Amino acid sequence: MKLIKITSLVFFAAIVFIACNNNKENVAEKKDSAAMQSSKTDSIKYTVLMVDNAKDPTCGMPVGAGIEDTLHYNNKSIGFCSKECKEDFVKNAPKSFAAVEWKK
């Protein structure tokens, strides 16, 4: 019985700790977003979850490294590391599309 009490106490302490930490993070984030609002919205423009490809089809960089631009083509969302890579893809779209490495 004692062990159960201790376990639940630790669990409760952990929840309080997490809740306090979350509050601190929120305050810090609010300060951050006020200070550099523009750069923040730029950096979280596209996420890996928003695209269907695993790698930038032009340069071969994994989309996890950062997505600067996306393209909708043949009902697929394709992420690119840069606008230049997207432009190169568009120039030769049908052939480039066939070579895209999709997520598994």
SS3 104: coil
Whole-angstrom distance, CA of residue 91 vs CA of residue 94: 9
56 binds Zn ion (CB under 5 A): yes
The window from 14-22, 24-32, 35-43, 56-64 that contacts Zn ion (CB under 5 A) reads 56-64
CA 69 to chain centre: 13
71 binds Zn ion (CB under 5 A): no
63, 67, 71, 73: CA torsion to nearest 10:
10
Task: Select 10 or 65, whichever has its Cβ closest to Zn ion.
Answer: 65
| Distance of closest approach, residue 102 Cβ to Zn ion, in angstroms | 16
| Distance of closest approach, residue 41 Cβ to Zn ion, in angstroms | 22
Choosing from 51, 67, 81, 100, the residue that interacts with Zn ion (CB under 5 A) is: 81
Q: By CB under 5 A, name the binding residues for Zn ion.
A: 56, 58-59, 61, 81, 85
